[in-house]
Structures are given as C-alpha cells and as structure tokens.
Copies of this chain bind each other. A is one copy, B any other.
C-alpha cells in the first residue's frame, strides 16, 4: 500500500526532528520533503546525527521551486506566524495541514487576536478565512472533526496535559468549574532548539523556577476547551515551572469536588471517559506515576487522587512534551486525517532508565 507522503516545514527544530523520528518507524507514512529557512542544503542527519542512516534527506528552502506537489500532509513545525502564511499554498494543492503553533487553534480572528496579544503579536492573522474550518487537534476530544478536516491546529504542550486531566471532571460534573488550579512543571526541551541565557546549561543546572505566573499563552486554549466541555465560561489559575530535566510535563491539577462523590467513582468516571482512547491511561492513588514512564511515548497518564480533608480532586497529568505534547499529537492527527489507524507508528513503549 502506498505510504502517506508527509512534508515537514520547520524540520530543523525539535518539533520537526520529533516528527522525523516517529515517521522513520511509521509503517504507513513517510517523510517526503524537509523544509526550513536554516541549514538549507544540509542533510537532516548532519544537524541531528542520531538520524544518520535513517533520515539523510537534505533540507530545502521554503522558496525552493522544486517542491513536491503530491504530498498528503504538511506539518508546520514552526513558531507562531509561519503556518498562517504558508498553509494556503498547500491547501490549494490538495495537501492537508497540521500546524504546531497557535496559528490555527482558534476559530475566528477575534479570538486569535486575544491569544496573539499574549505572545506579543500585533499583526492580523494572515489567513483569517481558514480559521472557521480549522480543528483543534486534540484527538481525544475532536477525533471525528479531525478525521474530516484538512487543517488542524496542533495543541500546546501544557494544554494537552491540562485539558486531558480536566475534561472528564467537567464533563461528568465532578468539580466546581470556578475552582481550577493547574500547577505545571516542564522539562527544558519545551523551550525549543534556540539557545538563550535562561536555558544555558550552567544557568539551568541545579535550579527551578515559576515563570509567566498567570500569563502563559496556553491558558487561552485550555480555557476555551474547558468552557466548551462545561457549557459555561471557565477561568483557571495556571502556573508553569521550568524543571532541570529534558523531557516531560507533569501538571498537578486541583479543583473542588462537588458533593456526594467517592474516589472510586471518580476514578471510574475517568476510566470510562477515556475507555476508547489508546493513549490516555488512568491510574488510582495506589499506582503513582512518574514523568519518565512517558518519555519518548505518545501516552498521557493520569493519576486520580482525592484529598478528603479539603474535598479536592487532585489529578496528576503526565506527558512527554515533545511527543504527546507536540510531534506525537501531530502524527496522531495526521493518521486520523489520512485514514490511517490512529495509533499507527505511535504504539511503542519508551526506554528505562
């Protein structure tokens, strides 16, 4: 059977590299072209020597006149602002698009503007006409829409962990919607490939910190999704923390329980909610989870706890920020959009230790 042909724009970043890694072992899809503005003309394995012999394809410039016209999907593994400019070209050629940034996570220009202001973007959206058809690419919540869509906005890494950790609690009316606090901890790979003083190895070696307190841009999409599920506007408290390890997000989520619920029924409600989702696994307090169990995989593990003394639900939601939080979700979306099995190329364990 012919393999799905995938283009990756922004191939040289961690998000592009992650997609290449997954596609290298994907039985039903293959990398057809790699595009970036940096390192044009150099083989991917030169920048990422672990791909030596697995992906030696040369990076093309976005302006390269010799761009393949027969791609099934293009992944924009690019920062905000790139996909919204580049998507129309591919869509017009019949190529589907998954964008990693916030460019297509919102369905109208106004909402987008609200998001964009948080990251200091003042420009108008370059393709506002596409916003209404774009789908938020969290398969566990929008599987059917993604299947039918040609344009998907891949979710933010923190958003994946928080939305998956909270949706059953809101859908099943387990918690008070106004009481949500997400205390998120992320590995440093979430900062991407470009070096900055904050992410310099010696500056980051034995330290941790909270940052963007009450101002992280992912809050926007988390609140939008949670509000949709709850059927009312939801505002959350969200504090991200930078932790000195490479991969992993651990979000500790707190909310007030509605009356009359037991830990057991809540755990069952979560399990029931995700019983068709191959990548979400629900655990009780007897099976504590660590971020390393997710490393290199597309899983999201949820640990469901109840603090009876304060009547709180405490969900610990764990992902690999570069897989389920980025390239893994992109491949999961690609699978759905191209009629492949949702789990193809993604169903493997990580390595330990």
Contact = CB atoms under 8 A, between A and B. Distances in A.
Interface in A244-299: 244-248, 250, 252, 254, 281, 285, 287-297
A333 interface: no
Interface stretch (A75-83, A107-115, A186-194): A186-194
A307 B237 contact: yes
A224 interface: no
Given A49-B290, A214-B309, 16 more contacts: A14-B353, A50-B350, A54-B349, A181-B312, A183-B183, A188-B202, A195-B197, A199-B200, A199-B202, A205-B246, A205-B292, A206-B245, A208-B290, A210-B250, A210-B288, A210-B316
A142 interface: no
Contacts of A348: 24-25, 54
A209 interface: yes
B288 A185 contact: no
Interface string A295-314: 11100000101111110101
28 contacts: A17-B352, A18-B351, A21-B349, A21-B351, A24-B349, A49-B287, A49-B290, A50-B351, A50-B352, A54-B349, A181-B181, A183-B183, A183-B252, A187-B202, A188-B202, A193-B197, A195-B199, A200-B201, A202-B246, A205-B353, A206-B245, A206-B247, A207-B292, A209-B250, A213-B307, A235-B310, A237-B312, A254-B254
Contacts of A2: none
Interface of A: 14, 17-18, 21, 24-25, 48-55, 181, 183, 185, 187-189, 191, 193-197, 199-211, 213-214, 235-237, 239, 241, 243-248, 250, 252, 254, 281, 285, 287-297, 303, 305-310, 312, 314, 316, 322, 348-353
Nearest to A22: B351
A188 B200 CA distance: 9
